Amino acid sequence: MIQNPFYLTYGLLLLGLLGVAEYRGWSPLSVSEVKNVPKSVRENPGVYRSHYRGFPRFFGGK
């Protein structure tokens, strides 16, 4: 391993990144963070509107 310091560094960086990603629970999912959601959502869910609402839909099928 010592004979390949660049590869070793590259490999250890990848493994380190993997460890952090697993520990912190990283995910490629696109998530929008919304602050101060009104507490009234619990009683009236319609007062909150999703960022993703109204996006084009896939109608699928062959």
Partner 1 sequence: MAIVGLKCPNCGAGIELRGFEHTQSVVCIQCLAVLDAKDPNLQVIQQFAERQRVQPLIPLGTRGKLHGDPYEVIGFQERTILVDGMPYSWHEYLLFNPFKGFRYLTQYNGHWNDVKTLRETPPPAGSKSGKPAVSHLGETYLHFQSAEASTTFVMGEFPWQVRVGEGARVVDYIAPPRMLSVETTGSEQTWSMGEYIEGARVWEAFQLRGSPPPAAGTFANQPSPYTGKPGTIWRAFLGLVFVLVALAWIFTLWSREEEVFRQRYTYAPGRPGEASFVTRTFDLGGRTSNVELSIRTDLSNNWAYFNFALINEQTGQALDFAREVSYYFGRDGDGAWNEGSKGDRVLIPSVPAGRYYLRVEPEMNPQTQARSMSYDLQLRRDVPAYSYFLIVALLLVVPPAAVSLRAAGFEKARWAESDHAPASADDSDSDSDDGDD
Regarding 51 and contact with partner 1 (CB under 8 A), the answer is yes
* Residue for token pair 């493994």: 15
Among residues 56, 37, 55, which one has the least CA distance to residue 47? Answer: 37
Instruction: Report how many residues bind partner 1 under the rule CB under 8 A.
Output: 47
Told to check if 15 binds partner 1 by CB under 8 A, we report yes
Q: How many residues does the chain have?
A: 62
> Token pair of 23, please?
């520990």
Under the criterion CB under 8 A, does residue 37 sit at the interface with partner 1? yes
Asked if residue 20 binds partner 1 (CB under 8 A), the reply is: no
**Residue 12 binds to partner 1 (criterion: CB under 8 A):** yes
